[in-house]
Amino acid sequence: MIKCLVGLMQADSGVIRIKDEDIEVLGRAELDLLRTNIGFLFQGSALYDSMTVRENLEFPLRRHKEKLKMKEDNETLVLEALKNVGLEHTVDLMPSELSGGMQRRVALARALILKPEIILYDEPTTGLDPITSKEIIQLTRNIQDTYNTSSLIITHDVDCARVISNRMILLVDGINYIEGSFDELVRSQDPKVKAFFKN
Amino acid sequence: MENNIWYKTRAFFEEAGGIVIFTGRFFSEVFKPPFEFKELLRQCYQMGNKSLLLVGVTGFILGLVFTLQSRPTLMEFGAESWMPSMVSISIVREIGSVIIALICAGKIGSGIGAELGSMRVTEQIDAMEVSGTNPFKYLVVTRIVATTLMLPLLVLIGDAIALFGSAIIENLKGEVSFLLYFNQVFDALTFADLIPATIKTFFFGFAIGLVGCYKGYYCSKGTMGVGEASNSAVVYTSMLLFVIDFIAVFVADIFNG
């Protein structure tokens, strides 16, 4: 679903509208411009492994800095994005030199570099140890406040959902099964919902 | 059994159709701005400069072995003086370009297949797409243009080194000076030998880049898929090189009358 939202996959049916634009009918240039308004954090971080952290963060700026009328130079934008995830010191390192949690944070910095209004998170805590997961959850929360972004998070992590979400949708077999706040869903008597929150 | 044949035939035509569509997309993107010159230069350096040693060694050994193997037969007919002409025409027209293209298919084609394949399975290509960069233009167009431009240069260098290797053997075994050897080489070679052979290498380079990129770009999920992309890039390119070579020789023959 999350890949359909940014046009990486085509939806089988229905219409996807982001900021009043139907993404299915947009041309390449318009879609690229719309994508600059959407940050995307991939499950496996998806950092470009042949580039340094700096080059990873500069990559989205190459084509869109002028269009978005960003006045700061690349160095300032890169360092600012890295500072927001607490990793300024990694700017010249290669992704392979970073731990899993650091890679996820650099990926988040890359998703933020164009200052998007919406951020999509694909399993942000998968594959991370509990402490790093908590750090990422807290970071996500801070970013929401600092950048004033809307976030859509796909997660199986109940802790993550509890801390971050204002509204939750529980999907069962790909169908929107139930919707509400975390507290509403926790109190639900539906057996499938109860099973999800049991532990 | 019947099902298996049907399945393989269908898979072959699907693959061929996929490559045709991919080629069409390449031509529709290659002349359209924005152009990725910096990445193109980087790829030219990666493919050209970093293949030079392999091409040089291959060319040198090719010249040595070819001359050593041909000498006894030519001596039997008292035709050693034909050695420079024979070696130069064989290498420039056919053997040099085909062998160096095959070597490059192994090195460059498999490298592209593996690199793009691993970028696909680790979602790096998707990450490029969502950052508003056209990954086809950045990754595929630059690589195909780079191989198309670099292969002719590599073949020219490889051919020259092969002739140098041949001259060394002639100098050591037949006491032929380098000056005399290369005088005979340039007497024997004409533009009619050089031009079709060089044009052919642009197509070789294009095929190496195209198949490597196609296999990597549409790599199936998982590490096994990356291995398969890399492996099949070499196999398909090698077959395609012989087909292109046959067509090129056939067309050149028509023009030569």
Q: What pLDDT, in 10s, does the model give residues A77-118?
A: 899 889 988 888 999 999 999 998 899 999 989 998 888 889
Position with higher pLDDT, A198 vs A5: A5
Predicted pLDDT of residue A67 = 64
Sign of dihedral through CA atoms B144, B146, B152, B158? negative
Residues of B in contact with A110 (CB under 8 A): 127, 131
Query: Distance, in angstroms, between A168 CA and closest chain B CA?
Result: 24
Per-chain mean pLDDT for chain A? 87
Query: Structural domains in chain A?
Result: 1-35 (no CATH), 40-165 (3.40.50.300), 167-199 (no CATH)
Query: In whole angstroms, what is the distance from residue A49 CA to residue A33 CA?
Result: 25
Gyration radius (Cα) of chain B, Å: 21
Locate the chain B residue with the closest alpha carbon to A63: B133
pLDDT at B149 over 90: yes
**CB distance B132–A49 less than 8 Å?**
no
pLDDT at A63 over 90: no
Position with higher pLDDT, B235 vs A71: B235
Which band of pLDDT confidence, cut at 50, 70 and 90, is reported for residue B30? very high
Query: In whole angstroms, what is the distance from residue B132 CA to residue A67 CA?
Result: 12
Please check whether residue B240 is in contact with residue B208, taking contact to mean a CB–CB distance below 8 angstroms.
no
Compute the residue count for chain A. 199
pLDDT (tens digit per residue) in B36-77: 899 999 999 999 998 999 999 999 999 999 999 999 898 888
User: What is the four-CA torsion angle of B151, B242, B209, B91, rounded to 10 degrees?
Assistant: -10
pLDDT (tens digit per residue) in A136-181: 888 888 888 888 888 899 988 888 888 888 899 998 888 888 999 9
Predicted pLDDT of residue A9 = 86
Query: In whole angstroms, what is the distance from residue B208 CA to residue B173 CA?
Result: 38
The whole-number average pLDDT for the span B183-195 is 91
Residues of A in contact with B34 (CB under 8 A): 63
pLDDT (tens digit per residue) in B10-22: 988 998 899 999 9
Sign of dihedral through CA atoms B165, B167, B170, B175? negative
Predicted pLDDT of residue A199 = 61
Query: In whole angstroms, what is the distance from residue B89 CA to residue B185 CA?
Result: 8
Predicted pLDDT of residue A66 = 67
Position with higher pLDDT, B154 vs B133: B154
Which band of pLDDT confidence, cut at 50, 70 and 90, is reported for residue B192? confident
Residues of A in contact with B143 (CB under 8 A): none
